[in-house]
Structure 1
Amino acid sequence: MKDTTVARRTTAAVWTLGVTAVLTGLPLVVRDRLPDRLATHWGLDGDVPNGSMPLWAASLVPALIWLVTSAVVTAPLMRAGPTAGPSWSTVTLLPTGIVLAGAQAAVVRANLDRADWHEARQPASWVVAILTAAVLAGAVGWLLVTRRRGASGGGTTSAGDAAALDIPEGRRLVWFSRTVNPWLQLLAAVTGLAAVAALVARVGGLAESGSLWALFAGCAAASLLSVLFSSVQARVSERGLEVSFGPFGWPGRRWAPGDIDTARAEYRRPAEVGGWGYRISGLGTTVMLRAGECLVVRPRGRRTDFAVSVDDAERGAALLNSLRGGRPRR
């Protein structure tokens, strides 16, 4: 719990400081190619600018707006204890950072190589692209928060630590457990920020498109993979065992109760299975996100096990044994 809290706060700090650096540094990096004053506002009736700022103000004002917004939104997150649930700061900070960074890149690009700010032109398509990206980021953040909160009430409705559970007639039990590797989430935030910075630099005209597109693609792919495999969910119900990855529960694997020979809980370490992540070793396949208790099943007709590192694995194994006929109903 402590590691999760630290990583959550660190991720928020990385995103806040990273966006601040992009907002402040973008105009300064190409200041030799910008006029003394930058066009910063365009009217609704055309591409002609109707407002400007000196270079220092165009660099600092968006950064100050971002820092104030971040401070207000993340203050509850920084005060939250280890058991605090997912914060709605995700929904706010993602689109806000993207809007400000995109707007800054658009301002710089519009003023680039202009002798006077009156000559700057702002393509309407950029505004549409920025707003679209912000809406998509907000939707992703909303899905992340609502999905995690919906899953936080998991667990079985009955306790038990035997090899199987006695399920009263007419009762249906569901067991759910989730494990998160906060450091993979932090890696996703860092590489995602690098991807945003590369995209902003490309829009701002800081470098050749080829190298920046390659950097953007690599960092975006690394961020996506880190997000997908930074968490794992296991669910046992009358449908059997369902194991899914990432905040959206995809990709995943599923076994019906009749497709499983045995289920048990077992303590495993990364060194025993070949490291972190989705590992294949002499012990079979292991989804290893943290050392400790794992739910281990032997699929029917297979000689190797499938294991997933989740809490309360013994109860999940007991319920799964009951559902596959390990103990009759009462």
Structure 2
Amino acid sequence: MTERVKKNGARWGARVWVVGVAGVLAALPFAASGRLPDRLATHWGGSAPNGSMPLWAAALLPALAWAALALCVAFIGRRGGFPAGPWVGASLLSGGVLLAGAQASIVRANLDVTDWQDAAPVGTGIAITAAVAAAAGALGWLAGRRAAPPTTPARPAEGGAVMEIPAGERRVWLSRLSNPWLHLIGALTGLVTAAGTVAAACGLIGAQWALVTPFALASLAMFASASVQARVTEAGLEVAFGPLGWPARRWAAGDIVSARVEDRRPAQVGGWGYRLGGLGTTVMLRSGECLVIRPRTGSEFAVSVDDAERGATLLNAFASRCRAGA
């Protein structure tokens, strides 16, 4: 179930991104058509434009190029299985940022001129766009590496509250979970942020920080709380958030009194995502079983993940070992 939910969340996020970037590429020139010449400068030789296109072509050709790139990524990714590799996220993020930034630079360069040959240079805008696209590609690559499923096969579930670990054997438990609806909300608020930023870069609107900033913060909050990875090792429990695994919370095995499995619902904890309430802290991404720990200090912490029973028994084993050695 964990991998299926994670796939759905990633696919929904990718679809929203592809459609949103295509819409921005096609809409920008038409949105500024009243301030643009009949033909737009679209190619520069040094600081002077040396190529042009009619407005409709300048709007549709980048969108078609983006659609072709997205289809190629989807085709290769489907043939290679999911996830097809970190390059998928890197390609979509860097490609979308690069094309949208280039389109914004072109529109801005052509604003309020009567002839395309009088368009302003685009060198600075393209350089900034390339740097941002490279950073976006790196983030996509890192997110794709973290999203890769574990290559080691799962062990059969152990019975009892404490897992028996044979002498000389080391065990690790890992579980990931993602909520596709939180990913979708994050993608939509992110698109509003991107659209406002691109429109400001084109000179269509002023820098509307009062509008853009809340959507940007909402998008970051949604993506940070839409996926979680819980890992139990001899060191204790680590719960990492978001596609990059940051931020993260950690508890040493010796600082955990006990771990258990408990069914919880959003109505019990106050909603979805990272919740604080009478039951302590709960990371609620889906209803059902949660891994719950009771630390020596502070309130209880619960995270909704699959295979929570195995994680709890292994964590209890490590905690018992620490107490015995103290």
What TM-score results when the alignment is normalised by the length of structure 2?
Answer: 0.91
Listed as ranges, the gaps of 5+ residues in structure 2 are none
- In 2, Cα distance between equivalents of 1:219 and 1:283: 30
Q: Which of 218, 222, 238 is the equivalent residue of 1:226?
A: 222
SS across alignment from 1:287? strand
Percentage of pairs with the same residue: 53
Corresponding position: 1:252 with 2:248: yes
Amino acid aligned to 1:19: V
State how far apart, in whole Å, the 2-side matches of 1:268 and 1:76 are. Answer: 39
For 2:13, the equivalent position in structure 1 comes to 11
Q: Distance in 2 between matches of 1:72 and 1:10?
A: 17
1:264 lines up with 2:264 in the alignment: no
1:53 is aligned to 53
Q: Per-residue deviation at 1:9?
A: 3.0
Would the aligned equivalents of 1:156 and 1:174 in 2 still touch at CA under 8 Å?
no
- Residue in 2 that maps onto 1:237: 233
Q: Is contact 1:166–1:328 with CA below 8 Å preserved after alignment?
A: no
Report the secondary structure of 1:162's partner residue: coil
In structure 2, what is the Cα distance between the partners aligned to 1:141 and 1:132?
14
Alignment coverage as a number of residue pairs: 321
Distance 2:88 2:266 in 1: 33
Distance in 1 (alpha carbons) for counterparts of 2:245 and 2:14? 23
What is the CA distance between 1:222 and its match in structure 2? 1.6
Q: Give the whole-Å Cα distance in 1 for the aligned partners of 2:102 and 2:250.
A: 44
Residue 90 of structure 2 corresponds to which residue in structure 1? Answer: 91
Q: Which moved more, 1:29-38 or 1:248-257?
A: 248-257
Contact 1:155 1:177 in 2 (8 A): no
- Partner SS for 2:320: coil
Structure 1 residues 258, 142: closer, same or farther in 2, change over 3 A?
Answer: same
Are the structure 2 counterparts of residues 73 and 55 from structure 1 closer, same or farther at C-alpha, using a change threshold of 3 Å?
same
Aligned to 1:199: 197
- How does 1:124-135 map onto structure 2 within 5 Å? 124-135=123-134
1:315 to 302, 310, 321: 310
Partner of 1:21: 23
Q: Note if contact 1:111-1:121 (Cα within 8 Å) is conserved in structure 2.
A: yes
Cα distance change, pair 145–106 in 1 and its aligned pair in 2 (3 A) = same
Say if 1:285 and 1:305, in contact at 8 Å, map to a contact too.
yes
Q: 1:325 aligns with which of 309, 320, 324?
A: 320
Q: Does the CA-based 8 Å contact 2:175-2:306 persist in structure 1?
A: yes
For 1:301 and 1:194, locate their aligned partners in 2 and report how far apart those are by CA, in whole Å.
Answer: 41
Deviation digits for residues 109-142 of structure 1 (CA, Å, limit 9, x no counterpart): 1111101111112142111100001100100000
Go from structure 1 to structure 2 and tell me whether the alpha carbon gap of 1:306 and 1:241 turns closer, same or farther (over 3 Å shift).
Answer: same
Equivalent residue, structure 1, for 2:113: 114
SS in 2 for 1:324: helix
Question: How big is the shift at 1:286?
Answer: 1.2
Q: Secondary structure at the match of 2:22?
A: helix
Whether contact under 8 Å (2:9, 2:178) holds in the other structure is no
Q: Report if aligned partners of 1:175, 1:319 keep a CA contact under 8 Å in 2.
A: yes
Residue 165 of structure 2: aligned partner: 167
Change (3 A) 1:265 1:218: same
Residue 75 of structure 1 pairs with residue 75 of structure 2: yes
Tell me the distance in 2 between the aligned counterparts of 1:288 and 1:76: 34
1:206-232 per-residue CA deviation (whole Å, 9 max, x = no partner) reads 1122x2x33332222221111111111
Q: Give the match for residue 44 of structure 2.
A: 42
Q: Secondary structure at the match of 1:38?
A: strand
Indicate whether 1:298 and 2:294 are aligned.
Answer: yes
For 1:40, the aligned partner's letter is T
Q: Does 1:217 align with 2:219?
A: no
Code of the residue aligned with 1:72 in structure 2: it is C
Superposed CA RMSD in Å reads 2.3
Question: Distance between the aligned counterparts of 2:117 and 2:314, measured in 1?
Answer: 71
| Inter-CA distance 275–97: structure 2 relative to 1 (3 Å threshold) | same
Tell me by how many angstroms 1:191 deviates. 1.7
TM-fit CA distance, 1:155: 7.3
Task: Name the counterpart of 1:279.
Answer: 275
Question: Is the 8 Å Cα contact of residues 234 and 243 (structure 1) preserved in structure 2?
Answer: yes
CA contact (8 A) 1:9 1:78 kept: no
Mapped partners of 1:164, 1:156: distance in 2? 18
**CA–CA distance in 2 between the matches of 1:74 and 1:311?**
28
Distance between the aligned counterparts of 1:220 and 1:79, measured in 2? 34
Q: Any conservation in 1 of the 2:42–2:51 contact (CA below 8 Å)?
A: yes
| CA distance, structure 1, for counterparts of residue 219 and residue 154 of structure 2 | 34
Distance apart, 1:8 and its partner CA: 3.3
